[in-house]
Structure 1
């Protein structure tokens, strides 16, 4: 009996299925580590590899989550040591999971065979065939879901439109079309060509004003100039106003702000500007005020400074990268007709009946996306163009937004 078990174990170890899984583990671990090093550590990956790199990253995403939990923190993604560990362990666990599922399905098929009745033999054969194929079918279904969430939905930019009534809106601004673009996250996950397409799509909506609500660059100085230059066509076409997001602070807030300004974007972090007509911005009060506050996570939020000295009858928009600012009590001291935000990406994943389980907000799904009533003002949250923590979207496609201001 022990000898038979040893023979069975040896036969299993050297079976074709196990050898294929072992070879796939070695190849994918090496490929995943190499591609991660090129994209996240050297910052030297071609945009043409983005799709492949995203798929490899998603396959071992649980490993990156574990790396963060066990001490790797957010910067683990920039470590070659962690890249080797995560890819080796991650693809190994996928292989083990496949072999376990395969073994279970084979045992169930054998049990059905042994317990089959003669009169239902044909049915049992079908059941056994299905059980034997279960691991492959599960892999195909899971792979299809990953392909959709990684390659299809993130590349499908939607245009969302809302009409926003504003009391006392001057007649010259009735029907003003405000284009909001946010969270482009130029960097390892998001290509320049994709952001350029979002900008082209935005300009095709014929906006009168563009507002940019932060996270132009994912992290690191390499992409700052390019991320700002991608916004230049907007600033050349229409008045364009922006604030910084938390990732812009990670990259270098001063340089991001200065570079955007050099490309024509009027930056209003804890500041403001005015549209006195549909064609230009001004520091002179009047018309429509476009104010901004600093990022909630990395900067000071100073609405008192942004709105200082403005008459109460002047309608105003407020740009805040983080929508949680809407809950700050000091915001209630000022007139705000509409706050525009990003940051949440809509959670990037939204499931039927559950919604978005991973919204980066202190208030759960309240500020995930869309038009929301805050304590003192309406808030519009865009799901944004790019991606941050993970290179996929499901049920939350990228978007740009057109908000038409109408006189209430």
Structure 2
């Protein structure tokens, strides 16, 4: 009898410890430092930094908006050449989106005031989709687009823009770094080929998307650096076993969870990095999947 009581007490303690830590980890922001080799990178872009984060999920119960604020503060302090946001600004469908949009955009104001160029794509929650089978909400999308535009944040929807290292948009024919943004996969709005069709063949480029599954459709040698979010790093993950995570085990489609994807994923010449994001889905818990802000240092490929 004592043995069973001991086991039961141990289980209760372990579950309580898991829950307590799981509620704490969402506030433990992890700043990752990565390097990316970009073919034909202009000399002015050599060594420049690009900050990447996303999946704020503002509006979920016990959301960790304060962690977004911490990430924004770190971005402003580092003053990167550009900021890329991976979508899912909000969490709930359209009935609550107005307040969520206002909160999600307002928290980014310090980046705008620092005059750092910001580009983004939209995620499934921004379309009011909390599951793949659903009806996108054009009203929610329009509200978010307008709020982002008012903040000076440009949504790249299957299109690209060329920048110099000071963040200025370049005219056609001028040499710079192209930022290509791909639309939402769950909303059936992702057309990767369209995002790259206006980029000259040899021009340097970085691609961003919300869902890593859009990466498979990127043409060969189009994305030496592609970044995505959506997975929350599995959100609840066993150490060393990324596929044994809550997101991977509950997904009906293949899931690439965290960090650099396997070299055999996607077309030849393309490379994908998956950011763990800031927010959460379903439950306000993270375990072995700390929220992430990534700084990429760009270098010319040999």
The question of 1:363 aligning with 2:250 is answered: no
Indicate which of 254, 258, 262 corresponds to 2:146. Answer: 258
Gaps of 5+ in 2: 129-136
Indicate which of 6, 23, 45 corresponds to 1:173. Answer: 45
Partners in 2 of 1:407 and 1:394 — Cα distance? 36
8 Å CA contact 2:231, 2:276 repeated in 1? yes
What does residue range 328-367 of structure 1 map to in structure 2 within 5 Å?
Answer: 328=217, 331-332=218-219, 335-352=222-239, 354-357=241-244, 358-359=247-248, 360=251, 362-364=253-255, 367=256
8 Å CA contact 2:56, 2:65 repeated in 1? no
What does residue range 111-190 of structure 1 map to in structure 2 within 5 Å?
Answer: 128=2, 131-150=4-23, 152-187=24-59, 188-190=61-63
Structure with the higher fraction of residues in helix conformation: 1
Structure 1 residue matching 2:236: 3-state secondary structure: coil
Partners in 2 of 1:215 and 1:312 — Cα distance? 31
Which residue in the other structure is 2:132 paired with? none
Give the TM-score normalised by structure 2: 0.85
Q: Deviations over 1:45-73 (max 9, x none)?
A: xxxxxxxxxxxxxxxxxxxxxxxxxxxxx
Aligned-residue offset at 1:270: 1.4
Which residue in the other structure is 1:379 paired with? 272
Structure 2 residue matching 1:143: 3-state secondary structure: helix
The question of 1:198 aligning with 2:78 is answered: no
The question of 1:248 aligning with 2:138 is answered: no
Structure with the higher fraction of residues in strand conformation: 2
Indicate which of 195, 202, 209 corresponds to 2:82. Answer: 209
**Which has the higher Rg, Structure 1 or Structure 2?**
1
Give the TM-score normalised by structure 1: 0.64
What does residue range 4-403 of structure 1 map to in structure 2 within 5 Å?
Answer: 109=1, 128=2, 131-150=4-23, 152-187=24-59, 188-219=61-92, 220-221=96-97, 222-237=99-114, 238-250=116-128, 252-282=140-170, 284-285=172-173, 286-328=175-217, 331-332=218-219, 335-352=222-239, 354-357=241-244, 358-359=247-248, 360=251, 362-364=253-255, 367-372=256-261, 373=263, 374-376=265-267, 377-403=270-296
Partners in 2 of 1:326 and 1:355 — Cα distance? 19
Greater relative contact order (Cα < 8 A, sep 6+): 2
Gaps of 5+ in 1: 1-108, 110-127
